[in-house]
Amino acid sequence: MDELRSRKVGGVAMKDKTPASYVGDTPPSRDDFARAAEMHRRALKLHCYRMLGSPHEAEDAIQETLLRAWRGFDDFEARASIKNWLYRIATNVSLNMIASRSRHGRLMPDQLDGPATQRPQGHPDAGTLWIEPYPDAELEALPDPAAGPDARYELRESVRLAFVAAIQQLPPRQRAVLLMADVMGWSAIDVASMLDASVASVNSALQRARGKLATFDRDVRQAPMTDEHQRSLLERYVLAWESRDLEQFVALLKEDAIYAMPPWREWYRGRGSIGDFFGAVWPAYRGFRLVPVGANLQPAFALYTLGAEGRWNAHSIQLLSLDKDGIATFTAFMQPLAQRLFMAFQLPTIKEA
């Protein structure tokens, strides 16, 4: 007979029946736990990033997850897979972190106000929690990149900045349900077990989350384009910046392109508006250098500007969304936000000439 038990592991309530496949199995050792934790660490951190919208918060969450799991391992007893147990803890840690914030979701500038028509005035908005990009280096060698059979999103779609920004607008538990069901492909029964909820409440939350996500006016799916076309577009993009050729840069933008620059609230829509902005600000700089980086499985660059002392100084992390017609969205994560992003991408803040 299956035995129903209740316990808490690292603050996480554990209420599940022992699956028949585990009856009589030898409980895993701490060495088994250490290997499993290392195997799933990157995938767990990505899950926390999707929940939290920040690689720095995701790192804090994964550290807390592994600490709770290590402290509570003696109570684990192999009542579920170590992987599912770790995801359960990581999800609850993320939900607790969100609950402790003054705002439950991180934002992009175009989720706050309409497009700007003038250059920014005043100072960056340090009081808003902004979406942050995620280094592609953290996505390498994921242990289980293939989503489950019920997943609606491929890995590439589910880490795109537009998708991460959109799901931050969902209530936290709806966000968790949608990620586990539609991104990871888990069944409603598994999700209900993870969240100590009923299957009916999970299905209801999932339907509401899907409905809300469908109403958000953001491009969460990338239009296909050939590798050769993308390579050519990015080469011309780098050349335009480093030669400060404004006309060539503007020609690469789609007519309805969007440019945002958190932590500034101002954002710009349309080729003409973006061209006017850069036409006004580029003359203040002595030179640009772009270093390719990977972020959210999208084209991205670290921008350095030439200082008076002849060294190249960290300026911003740029993230692009492309389609066959050009650059659709262009986000520059500016200072002071960029300072710690350069650290997250393991980039120097000063480069010698």
186 within domain boundaries: no
- Read off the CATH number of the domain in which 274 is found: 3.10.450.50
What are the tens digits of pLDDT across the range 25-71?
566 777 877 888 888 899 999 999 999 999 999 999 999 999 999 88
What are the tens digits of pLDDT across the range 322-341?
988 899 999 999 999 999 99
205 within domain boundaries: no
Domain boundary among 60, 75, 100: 100
37 within domain boundaries: yes
Overall pTM surpassing 0.85 (yes/no): yes
206 within domain boundaries: no
157 within domain boundaries: no
- Read off the CATH number of the domain in which 73 is found: 1.10.1740.10
pLDDT at 328: 94
Domain boundary among 57, 83, 100: 100
pLDDT of residue 100 exceeding 90? yes
**Mind spelling out the 3-state secondary structure of the chain?**
CCCEEEEEECCEEEEEECCHHHCCCCCCCHHHHHHHHHHHHHHHHHHHHHHHCCHHHHHHHHHHHHHHHHHCHHHCCCCCCHHHHHHHHHHHHHHHHHHCCCCCCCECHHHCCCCCCCCCCCCCCCCCCECCCCEHHHHCCCCCCCCCCCCCCCHHHHHCHHHHHHHCCCCHHHHHHHHHHHHCCCCHHHHHHHHCCCHHHHHHHHHHHHHHHHHCCCCCCCCCCCHHHHHHHHHHHHHHHHCCCHHHHHHCEEEEEEEECCCCCCEEECHHHHHHHHHHHHHHCCCEEEEEEEECCEEEEEEEEECCCCCEEEEEEEEEEEECCEEEEEEEECCCHHHHHHHHCCCCCEECC
Of 105 and 257, more confident: 257
pLDDT band of residue 303 (cuts 50, 70, 90) is very high
67 within domain boundaries: yes
213 within domain boundaries: no
The percentage of the chain sitting over the pLDDT mark of 90, rounded to a whole number, equals: 70
Domain boundary among 36, 70, 100: 100
- Number of domains forming the structure of the chain: 2
What are the tens digits of pLDDT across the range 156-195?
899 999 999 999 999 999 999 999 999 999 999 999 999 9
Structural domain boundaries enclosing 234: 227-351
